[in-house]
């Protein structure tokens, strides 16, 4: 264990209240540690069970992966293979595996569900309605994510507060009652400039689309470059008018815990 080691947290949580209490404790510890590699060490040492990191291969997640590799932390790294990635994203995946000498697990959507979705809505049917698009995201991303996280004690992400208004209050640690695990955001307080500087200093593989006006990169049919002055997520599902657009990976309804431990 590292110098930050403490008694490991439980791999499961008996009640949502217990999970929230532990999340609050971990949130304070992570906020007090300025170094990313040390934050990764704190996370790994805090849990006795499997910790999983879901990478989108965007620059934020590449920074987190670098810190995981630097810390030699035993963390399961995977990415969601939606079947709709840009060629540049796949090239970034290959470069990343070669840079760090490790395989990144590919989690694919269920073939039967994907075939049924396309048979019902068509190959670009997700552009016809918000319901269609959210169903596509659910089949290609949300359901595979849930499968990849089964049995994990913690889930690491590259979420940052600066990314959008909807993420402005992202904590370092939060208990996800739906998944029954701790959600951990070790670069929640980083600025875009800090991410880019970290990537440059450490010669981290970066998706070339970032330099072409794509600050947020998702599936190819659903992502475009943004114009100067646009929100960083304006290029995602650009045909929609809904504010705070998300795919469902990070914006599921939260369980509200009252002071007597009841949920509502």
SS3 107: strand
Three-state DSSP state, 263: strand
Distances (CA, A) of 119 to 93, 116, 125, 131: 30, 5, 10, 16
Q: Is 136 a catalytic residue?
A: no
Q: Which CATH architecture has domain 16-204?
A: 3-Layer(aba) Sandwich (3.40)
Annotated catalytic residue, options 136, 219, 222, 247: 247
pLDDT of residue 192: 94
Name 186's Cβ contacts closer than 8 Å, sequence gap at least 6. Answer: 30, 36, 39, 40, 43, 64, 67, 156, 172
Q: Would you call 8 helix, strand, or coil by DSSP?
A: coil
pLDDT digit string (tens) for the chain, length 264 residues: 444 445 555 555 556 677 888 899 999 999 999 999 999 999 999 998 999 999 999 999 999 999 999 999 999 999 999 999 999 999 999 999 999 999 999 999 999 999 999 999 999 999 999 999 999 999 999 999 999 999 999 999 999 998 877 788 999 999 999 999 999 999 999 999 999 999 999 999 999 999 999 999 999 999 999 999 998 889 999 998 765 555 656 554 333 222 233 332
pLDDT for 254 equals 38
Query: Can you tell me the distance from the alpha carbon of 206 to that of 131, in angstroms, rounded to the nearest whole number?
Result: 33
Global pTM reads: 0.86
14-23: list long-range contacts, CB under 8 Å, 24+ apart: 15/261, 16/175, 16/177, 16/255, 16/257, 16/261, 16/263, 17/257, 17/261, 19/175, 19/177, 19/180, 19/182, 20/175, 20/257, 22/175, 22/182, 23/171, 23/173, 23/174, 23/175, 23/182
Q: First CA to last CA across the chain, in angstroms?
A: 38
**Residue 73: predicted pLDDT:** 97
pLDDT value of residue 9? 54
């Amino acid at each position: 264990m590292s110098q930050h080691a403490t008694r490991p947290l439980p791999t499961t949580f008996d009640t949502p209240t217990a999970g929230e209490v532990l999340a609050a404790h971990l949130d304070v510890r992570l906020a007090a540690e300025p170094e990313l590699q040390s934050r990764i060490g704190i996370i790994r040492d805090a849990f006795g069970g499997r910790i999983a990191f879901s990478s989108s291969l965007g620059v934020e997640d590449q920074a987190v992966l670098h810190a995981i590799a630097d810390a030699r932390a035993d963390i399961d790294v995977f990415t969601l293979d939606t079947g709709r990635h840009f060629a540049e994203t796949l090239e970034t995946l290959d470069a990343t595996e070669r840079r760090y000498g490790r395989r990144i697990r590919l989690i694919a959507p269920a073939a039967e569900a994907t075939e049924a979705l396309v048979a019902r809505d068509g190959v670009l049917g997700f552009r016809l309605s918000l319901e269609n698009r959210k169903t596509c995201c659910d089949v290609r991303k949300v359901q595979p994510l849930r499968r990849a996280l089964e049995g994990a004690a913690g889930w690491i992400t590259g979420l940052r507060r600066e990314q959008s208004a909807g993420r402005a209050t992202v904590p370092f640690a939060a208990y996800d009652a739906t998944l029954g695990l701790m959600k951990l955001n070790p670069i929640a307080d980083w600025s875009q400039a800090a991410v880019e500087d970290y990537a440059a200093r450490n010669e981290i593989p970066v998706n070339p689309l970032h330099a072409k006006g794509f600050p947020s990169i998702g599936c190819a049919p659903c992502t475009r470059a943004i114009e100067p002055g646009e929100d960083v997520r304006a290029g995602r599902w650009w045909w929609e008018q809904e504010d705070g657009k998300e795919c469902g990976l990070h914006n599921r309804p939260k369980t509200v815990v009252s002071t007597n431990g009841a949920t509502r």
